[in-house]
Amino acid sequence: MTLRSAFAAAQDGDTIKLSGIITKQTLSNRSFANGITIDATEALFGGTFALSGVGGVTVAGGLFGYLPGTWQDSQTVRVVNSSRVNFLNPVVTGAGIGKELGLSVTRSQDVIIADGQFSGLRLGVGFSAVTNGSLIGNSFTGNTSDGINIADSRFVTASRNICRDSAPSVGAHPDCIQLWSSAGLPMQSDISLLNNEAYGQTQGFTSFNPTTASGIRISMIGNRVETSMPQGIACYGCFDSIITDNVLITLPGSQWRTFLRTPGGANNIVENNSIGPLPTSLDESLEGDEPMIGFAALSSRSFGAALALPLGGAVPEPAVWLQLLLGFGCAGVVLRQRRQARHDEPRAA
């Protein structure tokens, strides 16, 4: 039985058990009121895995991504036009050459990505036009660009995620978590970044937009940034936002000081943030005049290219993760099992 036929035959409460190497696969156009589980703990996905127009699907475990000799696609996991989709404990890997994109979610709602491991990718997770989403306890290691991108979304929380050991590709401006709003669309709103951590050669937690304001009710609370790049915490053109209790530390040997910036916007609360001492390697004159690294690239390259995409929503660094995915193959069996709902609510700000 193929995975597609098992998915077509599945009923509420079922578990589809996978094992071995799974080739390209798209599951589409089914919704389960009480949900089903795809148990991928013993599966290795050697091609893109896509969910399109589905509802009530939990994918547990799974190794997605780079597989020598078989993995040629730029994407690993794609979710589009779906609801009530969870990925729990996924492992998503790339070859570390700045091409593979991790897990992208577009025009969907009620999505949870929890306790995942993302490594060697260009982008770890991308949310575009997502309503009610959670990114909880994920790690991003050795990415050549961003850890998480959140664009044109509403009511999304990213908590307890960690970025480390970034390996920026030429021209990249890596951010652990980057937010933005597309020109011509309503501003992104109600996004919470809580207790996340960023280390190494990366910017921290940023909301940028080169031409218009970037967000309403953006909360950046309790995050820790120990990096060598200037934008530690940044909320450009934010309104009614809260930026508190963040810790920023500039690593020794850095060219710029890691700083907090909140230009533009209105009615923001910015307090109780800690910006560590200037390292002896930096000149004191840099303390209040750090450069806007990466902003020119955002304006001239990333945003411009993304606006031309047919699926809607500007997507800075990872423009190609808006491509549709197609794929077939793989095998699975269906086991009847009552689905245990998972709800992991982040700490309230």
Q: What is the pLDDT of residues 55-76, one digit of tens each?
A: 999 999 999 986 655 444 567 8
What are the φ and ψ backbone dihedral angles of 24, each rounded to 5 degrees?
Answer: -50, 140
Q: Categorize the per-residue pLDDT at 33 as very low, low, confident or very high, splitting at 50, 70 and 90.
A: very high
Higher pLDDT, 41 or 309: 41
Q: Are 281 and 253 in contact (CB under 8 A)?
A: yes
Q: Are 268 and 240 in contact (CB under 8 A)?
A: yes
* 17 DSSP β-pair partners: 39, 333
Q: Categorize the per-residue pLDDT at 298 as very low, low, confident or very high, splitting at 50, 70 and 90.
A: very low
**Residue 68 DSSP one-character state:** T
User: What is the pLDDT at residue 95?
Assistant: 75
Most confident among 186-190, 317-321, 339-343 (mean pLDDT): 186-190
* Cα–Cα distance measured from residue 158 to residue 219, given in angstroms and rounded to the nearest whole number: 10
> How much is the average pLDDT of 104-132?
95
Which residues, 6 or more positions from 205, have their beta carbon under 8 angstroms from its beta carbon?
A: 175, 176, 177, 193, 196, 198, 220, 223, 225, 232, 233, 234, 246
pLDDT at residue 209 tops 80: no
* Cα–Cα distance measured from residue 223 to residue 48, given in angstroms and rounded to the nearest whole number: 33
pLDDT at residue 82 tops 90: yes
User: What is the pLDDT at residue 101?
Assistant: 86
pLDDT at residue 249 tops 80: yes
Higher pLDDT, 210 or 16: 16
pLDDT at residue 346 tops 70: no
pLDDT at residue 19 tops 90: yes
**Residue 298 DSSP one-character state:** I
Of all residues in the chain, what percent carry a pLDDT higher than 70? 75
pLDDT at residue 162 tops 90: yes
- Lowest mean pLDDT segment, chosen from 39-53, 155-169, 172-186, 274-288: 274-288
**Mean pLDDT, all residues of the chain:** 80
- Lowest mean pLDDT segment, chosen from 84-98, 173-187, 315-329, 330-344: 315-329
* Cα–Cα distance measured from residue 44 to residue 21, given in angstroms and rounded to the nearest whole number: 5
Q: Are 125 and 149 in contact (CB under 8 A)?
A: yes
Output the CA angle 145-75-114, nearest 5 degrees.
75
- Lowest mean pLDDT segment, chosen from 127-136, 183-192, 239-248, 271-280: 271-280
Measured on CA atoms in the order 111, 114, 118, 124, is the torsion positive or negative? positive
Would you tell me how many other CB atoms lie within 10 Å of the CB of residue 340? 9
Higher pLDDT, 338 or 143: 143
Q: Are 322 and 104 in contact (CB under 8 A)?
A: yes
| CB burial of residue 169 (10 Å; 0-12, 13-18, 19+) | middle
Would you tell me how many other CB atoms lie within 10 Å of the CB of residue 319? 21
Would you tell me how many other CB atoms lie within 10 Å of the CB of residue 219? 19
Q: Categorize the per-residue pLDDT at 172 as very low, low, confident or very high, splitting at 50, 70 and 90.
A: confident
Structure tokens belonging to residue 181:
């709003």
Torsion of CA 335, 340, 342, 343, to 10 degrees: 160
Q: Categorize the per-residue pLDDT at 252 as very low, low, confident or very high, splitting at 50, 70 and 90.
A: confident
Q: Are 143 and 115 in contact (CB under 8 A)?
A: no
Of all residues in the chain, what percent carry a pLDDT higher than 90? 55
pLDDT at residue 13 tops 90: yes
pLDDT at residue 50 tops 90: yes
